[in-house]
Chain A
Amino acid sequence: MRIEFELDARTITVEIAPGETLMTLLRRIGAVSVKDGCSRGDCGSCAVRLDGRAVTSCLLFAAQADGRRVQTAAGLADATGGLHPLQRALVDAGGVQCGYCTPGVLMAAMDLLESDPDPGEQEVRTALAGNLCRCTGYVKIIEGVRDAAALLREAEHD
């Protein structure tokens, strides 16, 4: 079947097998910032935002994205490649080691930052609980997300 959806502000029209997952579809069409860490909804490395909500794309049928808006980590930077404050803060805080979990972490963190401009440590922990990271021990990821919130608040004031 053919579906049409918005992927990081581009319209995608693509032929899919109705049984394939959104994760497989996205990786197949080159949206490889979406990672496959488990294919079972356990690790969060495949997280994307579907109509503005972070979900695990390995547990969605691609067909469910028809007519909807999908955001990935690759779409966060601006058109000229300028890093989003969240990207900047995460990498500068040391929240990126191998970087395999990073795209998923960014998606879950975006969800949080859009609803909570000043999240406390516990809020960040809760928001990222579905994103497994084996490298960082989370300390600097949490720091990075809170730094990003501060950067975004500043930008708001300017």
Chain B
Amino acid sequence: MTDKLQVVGHNERKVDGRALVTGQPVFVDDAPAPAGMLHLALLTSPHPHARIRSLDVSAAEALPGVALVLTHENTPTRRYTTAGQGYPEPSPYDARMFDPKVRFVGDRVAAVAADDLATARLAAQRIVVDYEVLDPVLSIDAALAPDAPVVHDEPDSDAFDASRNLAAHATAIVGDVEAALAAAHTVVDVTVETQYAQHAPIEPHAARAELDPAGRLLLTTSTQVPFHVRRIIAHLLQIPVHRIRVVKPRIGGGFGVKQEVLIEDLVALTTLRTGRPCSLVITRAEEFVSSRTRHPMRVRVRLGADADGLLEAIDLDVLSNTGAYGTHSLTVLSNVGSKTLPLYPTAAAQRFVGHAVYTNLPVGGAYRGYGATQGQYAMEVAIDQLADRLGVDALDLRRRNHLRAGGTSPIFRELGEGREGVEQTITSCELPACIEIGAQRIGWAAKRGQRRRDGSWVHGVGMSIHLQGSGIPRIDLAAANLKLNDDGSVNLTLGATDLGTGSDTVLGQIAAEVLGLPLEKVLVTSSDTDLTPFDVGAYASSTTYVSGTAVLRAAEDLRGQLLEVAAAVLEVPVDDLRLEDQRAVAADGRSTSLEELALRSLYAVDQRQLAANASAVLDTSPPPFLACFAEVAVDLDTGRLRVLRLVAAVDCGQAIHPRLAEGQVEGALVNGLGYALMEDLAIDPEGRARGTDFGRYKIPSTLDVPPIEVVLVDSYEPTGPMGAKSVSEIGINAPLPVIANAVHDATGVWLTRPPFTAERVWRALNGE
């Protein structure tokens, strides 16, 4: 395939590479401050659960330089969700801009706008708040206790059952699971309990608001979802959508946490109230505590299999802690089922039951993997336990059961993102090749089960398999515009959001390929609600597949128009023409350049702007697949766990930009590695998150990361643009189970509580 392609499948230089590597001012807070800009500082709750009896802001307002103090007393009271999802959002409307009740340590109490940041911070500290402290709910079990305090006691709650602290509930039932389990030859029963983690983009959330000369509100923000920001801000502040323009410049990573409308409302309202520009960049501590996290979960998997290891029943029971607000509570929860069960369609009986509970703890949100991370961890450990019990090789057990091309799963239909799903048949699956290649690279046959000793260290290998989706079928909409310029270059404008993933490059490559252009002649502008067409934004692994399809369609349309003009010039039928190397070439070898075609149509004959617009909403969400292998060593003296090597063989369809695709997998693997080994927002007994800086909340550095080999396996997805599927999330699901399984291979203990710190491993080794 690739040898016929000119741009797609090649490692082109990233379109924003030059600006980034020369340190250009391309991030939100890099732009020079406009005259009179205000700076915001936040005051957040020190209590996990309290009612604000009264607030005294007079000392804050009296400080010279303070322009505005925002509290629940002077701000809109509409309910909304900060989850940046499509309309209507499947998350409960359980938040207010400011609420007289605070529900976690770090919840918003007030915001102060002042001439400079130091003054704003000082003023925020001068606000006197009288709290009526309430009993807090500090764990899943506490939330479910019969007489538990109610986190959301507002009478108009639209959560699943707020009176029982249930934010959301999801089920899918196929066949009779209990009967199948009872009849099975072997049953395994595994419960894992995952921790709070934070996305930790190196750029914290940043947003600026100003009024443009026409008095419209311009929001420049580090968001993954510019169009959702516009809609949600309009709703919350009750201003018309057409009075708002949202622009996303370069952003310093997101991983889901910037799919949340967390701070735009504050800068927007301040600017609307004062007429002055306003900036807010949250601190690292606020990013950790007050923004969003990965939902901690308790996941129980029961598997029933026959004597040959053919699965007969899977029961998946999930309790998710959504924290103080239900952002993404339903959809992440559903995803645990919908991204875990379909991998094993051999089990005729399958059941998923999930509940998301409110607690007075940090708020869960969208985080790369989106529930699949937690679910697949439990599932892949259970599969290894089953293999262990049956004495079957873990590879073989998976080979006997995993989803294949041409196959399907009833779960696709039963479970969607918070609603019914969409039936689909798998049109590409190179999982068998992924398993084969990965096993070879890690040396599976020679190393598995060997328990090789090296002093106090013992070695082991493990593996796991994974899938994700490519966008949300029949929901995610993306659109793209293309317009031809004098010199045959094109402007590609699209709503899709590049958060560092390289989507501007990848989408530009698709257009370039279709139009026979080098990438530098595709000028990509994205994520500006005034200038670019709609796109839901960057989440659910949708960009390459859904936005890419929109770009492909727009490019094909423009190509058709170009060929028509060329047909007139060369006097040949359109069907005899193709675009190649910036020219329209006829079957007989004669050609004309795109520049000539552009000049002709702009200035000479049959004058018009050649341009195209296309949208994409797709009926399927073809999963990418991944087989991951790890070699680990465990120090039996101390429990210290070292990952020595990671191998990941991936089926992402045709990689549009192989190096960027590898980079997505590598980044996701390391993010997952951090989650498996060290990352933990740990909550203290008073409900405060302990990890408030990178000293306490460790993320991997160069020295914590083992050699990683990513192999992109040859694959082609017939429904995807140029054969592509998604690639950016899947890798994060692998480290938890692959490391746990490798540690079992080395030591015989199962790790079910991440992070796998040395002390936890040591305790497990000692039978605790």
Contacts and interface: CB of A to CB of B under 8 A. Distances in A.
A touching B, CB within 8 angstroms? yes
**Best-buried of A92, A135, A142 by chain B (most CB within 10 Å):** A135
Given A76-B22, A102-B21, A40 B694 contact: yes
A4 to B, nearest CB: 23
B376 interface: no
Nearest to B23: A33
Interface residues of A, number: 55
A77 interface: yes
Contact of B694 (A42, A72, A87, A141): A42
Q: Is the interface on chain B under 10, 10 to 19, 20 to 34, or 35 or more residues? A: 35 or more
Contacts of A110: none
B694 A134 contact: no
A136 B695 contact: no
Contacts of A88: 21
Contacts of B457: none
B585 interface: no
B14 A132 contact: no
Contacts of B660: 94
Given A45-B202, A99-B500, A134-B667, A38 B694 contact: yes
B99 interface: no
B693 A100 contact: no
Interface string A80-92: 0101000110111
Contacts of B250: 98-99
Interface stretch (B103-111, B251-259, B379-387, B602-610): B251-259
A76 B24 CA distance: 12
A14 interface: no
B17 interface: yes
A38 B284 contact: yes
Interface stretch (A60-68, A120-128, A150-158): A120-128
A128 B704 CA distance: 12
Contacts of A16: none
Interface stretch (B25-33, B50-58, B155-163, B429-437): B25-33
B20 A91 contact: yes
B149 to A, nearest CB: 35
B376 to A, nearest CB: 19
B708 A91 contact: no
Interface in B211-267: 250-253, 255
Contacts of A45: 202
A30 B21 contact: no
A45 B702 CA distance: 14
A101 B202 contact: yes
Which of A43, A92, A99, A130 counts the most B-chain CB atoms under 10 A from its CB?
A99
B642 to A, nearest CB: 14
A137 B667 contact: yes
A93 B13 CA distance: 9
Contacts of B13: 91-92
A93 B21 CA distance: 12
Contact of A140 (B26, B27, B202, B666): B666
A100 B22 CA distance: 11
Contact of B251 (A36, A98, A121, A140): A98
Nearest to A45: B202
Given A39-B284, A135-B500, A96 B253 contact: no
Contacts of A37: 202-204, 252, 284
Contacts of B19: 99
A129 B698 CA distance: 13
Nearest to A81: B22
Nearest to A121: B707
Contacts of B701: 128-132
B633 interface: no
Given A94-B662, A96-B21, A125-B703, A134 B253 contact: yes
Given A40-B284, A94-B663, A99-B500, A134 B671 contact: yes
- Per CB-CB distance, the 3 closest pairs between chain A and chain B, nearest first, are A33-B23, A98-B500, A99-B20
10 contacts: A42-B694, A73-B21, A91-B18, A92-B11, A96-B17, A96-B21, A99-B21, A101-B252, A102-B21, A130-B701
